[in-house]
Structure 1
Amino acid sequence: MTDTPFDRRHVLDLVADLLPVLVPDAELDPAGPIVKLRWSRGGLTSSAEVGLTELIDRCREQPHHLWPRTVDDWLRAVVDEIGVATDEHLYGAVAERQRVTLRPQGWSAAYDSVLAGLSVPFGRYFEIVFGIQSGPDWHRLTQVRRVMHGLHLPGSPSGLELTLNGLAGLTLQEVPGTPYRMFHRPGDQTVGLALVDHEQALPNGGKGRGTLLALPATDLLAVCPIDRRDDMQVRVDEFAHWVAKAHADAVDPCSPGVYWLVGELLAELPVDLDITPSVTLPKALKSPFWRRRRT
């Protein structure tokens, strides 16, 4: 007995059956394959062509009997996206309100949605997640809604560039009672992107023995300086506990980790707050040679 070869036409037949029920104003173009969407709310009328490759690939990985539910869920999600896209237009030019935020690696994969979100990896530990700012809300940008807004077209502004431009005015603030400093703008989920542009935001951050840093919240990037005159083990242990509390108290938490930026390397340091010392320091920061060289 052999498996039946995958035929995308069977998926398109399901789309053709369900489309008039779930999205009456849409039209299927099997040659694309795409769905042509048309929608209106109030005085706003818009249209877009959404590719079906994502849906077909999802079905390709599933048993045939799951396809009807998969297609149904996908089309219902598209209907929801129409509502979100329409609301986003109410706040003005959507392209200019694109923003990105930094999240721990795997954050997008854990997001409960049948529609693929727009994100790219940043190193081993983080990913850059694209979204749209609408008033006080930030909506994760899906591939489908990106097309609805025409953000995939040549010449469309880059959400990453717009975000980095918006961080140009950030300055490091002292953390009272500590040797740490931080970039902090309460409620702004883009502040962590300062790490992506660290050559500008922290021009000396990777030089010499580097810098210890943390992103306990999306609106907070903390920097712990490396000082050969101090006991770095004590300093970084205290920093790790401060980071853990900031992460626990954050409205929009990011990562509880402590990272070492040196040159172009970003490495996460092992942390266990239940033991002493709490942080496993790299040899470069705890060697006797390093500790003896005082100025």
Structure 2
Amino acid sequence: MTETPFDGRQVLDLVADLLPVLLPDAELDPAGPIVKLHWSRGGLTSSAEVGLAELVDRCREQPHHLWPRTVDDWLRAVVDEIGIATDEHLYGDVVSRQRATLRRQGWSAGRPSLLAGLSVPFGRYFEIVFGLQVGSGWHRLTQVRRVMHGLHLPDRPSGLELTLENLAGLTLEPVDDLPWSVLSRPGDQTVGMALVDHDRHLPNAGKGRGTLLAVPSTDLLAVCPVDRREDMQARADSFARWVAKSHDEAQDPCSPGVYWLVGELLAELPVTLDHSPAVALPKALRTSAWRRFLNR
């Protein structure tokens, strides 16, 4: 039996049927294809053009009989986004409150949503997730709400730039009685982003034999120096246990991993806390390797 070719116009017909019910002030432009939104809540009046390519692609991957439910759910999600966007405006200028947070790779995929969120990969182990600061909290941004706020326009600063500028005042602080230091601002989900611009925020971390580091929570980045003054294996094992405990106790955990930053290379080291040694150090970081290196 030959499958019926996908026709995106049928999806747009479903949108046209449901718009008067769910978004009576909206207009469909099939040529875009876009939906032109107009809304007014309290003293706020706004408008935006939201693309339908994401919805059409979602339907393309589904059986035809699921399309009506998919379109209905998607439009209801857009209605919810209007409410969220309205609330976000109550906290002041939205553009200046853009922020980004560092998450372990796959974090976004573990939070399925009808509307695509804003995130980009950062290396092999992390992803950057974009959002808005709302009071003391943080809202993850979706592509739809980004357009509603006009944050997609070319004259707007990026959340990445604003986040890194906001971290400029942070400095590494030593941890009591331990041979490592931390960047920390309790409750600030953007602190881990210092890793993204480590040349500025951790200027010596990648030099020489590099540095062990960890981002156990979004508001904490720990840096453990690599040197020959102590047994590096014992230090790495102790660091890994401290990282695991910090991750377990974090209000907003990021990664329990221990990473080695050397030059521009970031590598996750294997960690098994119930074995000794707990951290599988690369050859270049073992004490014996240090001695061979020094005796050349």
Same-fold call, TM > 0.5?
yes
- The residue aligned with 2:154 is 154
Shift of 1:256: 0.2
The code of the aligned residue for 2:146 comes to: R
Query: Is residue 229–residue 291 contact of structure 1 (8 Å, CA) maintained in 2?
Result: no
Q: Is the 8 A contact 2:233 2:281 kept in 1?
A: yes
| Secondary structure at the counterpart of residue 274 of structure 2 | coil
Unaligned runs of 5+ in 1: none
Whole-Å separation in 1 of the counterparts to 2:270 and 2:175: 24
Q: Is the 8 A contact 1:98 1:162 kept in 2?
A: yes
Q: C-alpha distance in 2, partners of 1:291/1:219?
A: 37
Separation in structure 2 between the aligned mates of residue 22 and residue 155 of structure 1, nearest angstrom: 32
Residue of structure 2 equivalent to 1:22: 22
Aligned-partner Cα distance in 1 for 2:137–2:45: 23
Residue 164 of structure 1 and its aligned partner are, at CA, apart by: 0.5
Q: Distance in 1 between matches of 2:96 and 2:289?
A: 52
2:231 touches 2:287 (CA, 8 Å); kept in 1?
no
Determine if contact 1:216/1:253 at 8 Å carries over to the other structure: yes
Cα offset, 1:287, TM superposition: 5.4
Q: Name the counterpart of 2:238.
A: 238
Matches of 2:136 and 2:287, distance apart in 1: 48
Q: Which residue of 2 aligns with 1:101?
A: 101
* Number of the residue aligned with 2:224: 224
Q: Is the 8 A contact 1:29 1:36 kept in 2?
A: yes
Tell me the CA shift for residue 19 of structure 1: 1.2
Q: Structure 2 CA distance, aligned partners of 1:241 and 1:153?
A: 45
Is contact 1:216-1:255 (8 Å) kept? Answer: yes
Supply the distance in 2 between the matched residues of 1:175 and 1:69 (Cα, whole angstroms): 54
67-76 vs 81-90, which moves further: 67-76
Deviations 1:206-238 (A, max 9, x none): 111000000000000000111212111110001
State the secondary structure of the residue aligned to 1:150. coil
Runs of 4+ residues over 3 Å off in structure 1:
291-294
The two structures have a TM-score, normalised by structure 1, of: 0.98
Residue correspondences, number: 294
Q: Distance in 2 between matches of 1:151 and 1:134?
A: 16
Kept in 1, the 8 Å contact 2:95–2:156? The answer is: yes
Which residue of 1 is the match for residue 110 of structure 2? 110
After TM superposition, give the deviation of residue 291 of structure 1 in Å.
3.7
The aligned counterpart of 2:33 is 33
CA–CA distance in 1 between the matches of 2:78 and 2:108?
18
Instruction: Quote the Cα distance in structure 2 between the aligned partners of 1:17 and 1:99.
Output: 37
Secondary structure, counterpart of 2:260 in structure 1: strand
Q: Aligned pair in 2 of structure 1 residues 289, 282: CA closer, same or farther (>3 Å)?
A: closer
1:268 CA drift (Å): 0.2
Which ranges of structure 2 fall in alignment gaps of 5 or more residues?
none
Matched, 1:276 2:276: yes
What TM-score, normalized to structure 2? 0.97
Instruction: Report matched runs for 1:1-295 at 5 Å.
Output: 1-286=1-286, 288-291=288-291, 293=294
Which whole-Å CA distance do the structure 2 matches of 1:273 and 1:77 have between them? Answer: 43
Q: Which amino acid in the other structure matches residue 132 of structure 1?
A: L
1:1-41 deviations in Å (ceiling 9; x for gaps): 11100000010011111111111111111111000111111
Closer, same or farther in 2 for the Cα pair 1:145/1:6, shift >3 Å? same
Judge conservation of contact 2:172–2:181 (CA < 8 Å) in 1.
yes
Conserved? CA contact 1:101–1:218, under 8 Å = yes
| C-alpha distance in structure 1 between counterparts of 2:167 and 2:105, whole Å | 22
| Rounded Cα–Cα distance in structure 1 between residues aligned with 2:203 and 2:75 | 47
How far apart in 1 are the matches of 2:99 and 2:60?
A: 33
Secondary structure in 2 aligned to 1:160? helix
User: What amino acid is aligned across from residue 259 of structure 2 in structure 1?
Assistant: Y
